[in-house]
Amino acid sequence: MSPLMHGAICLSVFLFSGSPALARPDVIASDLALQFVCRGDSDQTIESAVESFLTGHQFKVLNKARVQQNHGVFIVPVEIIGIDAQRRQIDITLMPPPSTKKDARRYAMRINSPPPTEHDAELEQAALDFASKTLGCELRQVSRGENEEDAREFYDRLFKTTEGWFRQTEELESPSL
């Protein structure tokens, strides 16, 4: 084998071997991500059920879409975020573009935890059961992801942003002195 060919093979092995040079600490894979389609229920019914699910699992809840709408901003009709003491985050969003018909609405739910990923099988199953059984929606896509320790710094930055949304909301909704 020529030295040139050997060098090319070594470079290929290095590039495609999951080397640190290719690690993507600026991407967070969700512990659990799912999409589900609900038929017939109003957004308010879904919002109320989601908020109950999150508080029932000890998550602090921010209905980001409602806060935005209360201040004249309309980005998405449903966006609810929950965070807990373990620094996990659950997001539920109505997927754009929302149908003008209320008979079929597609939602996305993500559960993220600080890296390295330690799946909470009970919480993940509860989320699946919530979407399919409690809401009576049809599960469309389900995936599970893993994050290595090298993603922790990026996760921490994202989580601080989310905590900032909670603080801003408290400031907006607190009575002015």
Q: Give the chain's domains with CATH numbers.
A: 25-170 (3.30.160.110)
User: What pLDDT is stored for residue 142 in this prediction?
Assistant: 97
Edge-first strand listing for the sheet containing 60-63:
60-63, 79-83, 89-94, 105-112, 32-38, 138-144
Q: What is the mean pLDDT of residues 103-111?
A: 89
Q: In angstroms, how far is CA 79 from the centroid of its own chain? A: 10
Q: In angstroms, how far is CA 3 from the centroid of its own chain? A: 48
pLDDT band at 152 (very low <50, low <70, confident <90, very high): very high
Q: Are 61 and 81 in contact (CB under 8 A)?
A: yes
pLDDT band at 9 (very low <50, low <70, confident <90, very high): very low
User: What pLDDT is stored for residue 66 in this prediction?
Assistant: 87
| Max Cα–Cα distance, the chain, nearest Å | 79
On the question of pLDDT at 97 being above 70, the answer is: no
pLDDT band at 39 (very low <50, low <70, confident <90, very high): confident
User: What pLDDT is stored for residue 27 in this prediction?
Assistant: 85
On the question of pLDDT at 49 being above 60, the answer is: yes
Q: Are 154 and 112 in contact (CB under 8 A)?
A: no
Q: What is the mean pLDDT of residues 42-54?
A: 87
Contacts of 62 (CB under 8 A, 6+ apart): 80, 81, 82, 83, 165, 166, 169
**Distance separating alpha carbons of residues 2 and 133, to the nearest angstrom:** 62
pTM higher than the cut 0.95: no
User: What pLDDT is stored for residue 24 in this prediction?
Assistant: 55
pLDDT band at 77 (very low <50, low <70, confident <90, very high): confident
On the question of pLDDT at 61 being above 70, the answer is: yes
Q: What is the mean pLDDT of residues 91-99?
A: 79
